[in-house]
Structure 1
Amino acid sequence: MLDQFLSGAIVMGFAVAALLFLSYWRRTGQSLFLTFSASFFLLAVNYTWLALTNIPVEERSPLFLIRLLAFSLIIVAIVQSNTKRGR
């Protein structure tokens, strides 16, 4: 029961971060914030999926792929943001 509660708190944190970055994107129009918002939304979906299902540890490969996609998006957004500033 405690695991599900903590997973819900983690999902809520990711969802709030996604909404905050979405509001920053609306204010500034920078694609960095939109990408961060999408990444945190993917992480929220990932942890929601993990909390609602009892997938054994050995079969969690799709969950790791979602996390990989989210973190890859963050890295690409940061690199693109830094290369745009240099020009």
Structure 2
Amino acid sequence: MIEQFLSGAVVMAFAIAGLLFLKYYRRTRQRLFVIFAASFFLLAVNYAWLALTQVPVEERSPLFLVRLLAFSLIIFAIVYSNRDKSAP
């Protein structure tokens, strides 16, 4: 019972982080924040799916691919925002 409660708290935290990044995007209009928001929403879906399905081995399930996509988006956003603006 406590595992489900804590899983719900983790999902809520990821969703709130995604909403905060959307708020920052509305203020600054930087694409970095939209990509971060999408990543955190993907992580929220990932952990909700994990809590609801009780997958015994995460590394062998499609959940791993969702998490890999979320972290790949974060890396892409950081690289994209730090690239040289003057390069062709």
Q: TM-score, normalised by structure 2?
A: 0.91
Kindly report the root-mean-square deviation, in angstroms, between the aligned alpha carbons of the 2 structures: 1.5
Give, in angstroms, the shift of residue 53 of structure 1.
1.2
Residue 54 of structure 2 aligns to a residue in which SS? coil
Q: Partner of 1:22 in structure 2? A: 22
Which range moved further: 55-64 or 3-12? 55-64
Unaligned runs of 5+ in 2: none
Q: How does 1:1-87 map to 2 (within 5 A)?
A: 1-57=1-57, 60-84=60-84, 86-87=85-86
Aligned equivalents of 2:50 and 2:24: distance in 1? Answer: 28
Contact 2:12 2:44 in 1 (8 A): yes
Aligned equivalents of 1:14 and 1:76: distance in 2? Answer: 19
Give, in angstroms, the shift of residue 20 of structure 1.
0.1
Q: TM-score, normalised by structure 1?
A: 0.92
Give, in angstroms, the shift of residue 57 of structure 1.
1.3
Following TM superposition, the consecutive aligned residue runs of length 4 or more in structure 1 with deviations greater than 4 angstroms are none
Aligned equivalents of 2:80 and 2:34: distance in 1? Answer: 13
Aligned equivalents of 1:14 and 1:58: distance in 2? Answer: 19
Residue 81 of structure 1 aligns to a residue in which SS? helix
Aligned equivalents of 1:78 and 1:43: distance in 2? Answer: 17
Q: What per-residue deviation string (whole Å, max 9, x for no partner) do you get for residues 32-86 of structure 1?
A: 00000000000000000011112221674200100000000000010000004x5
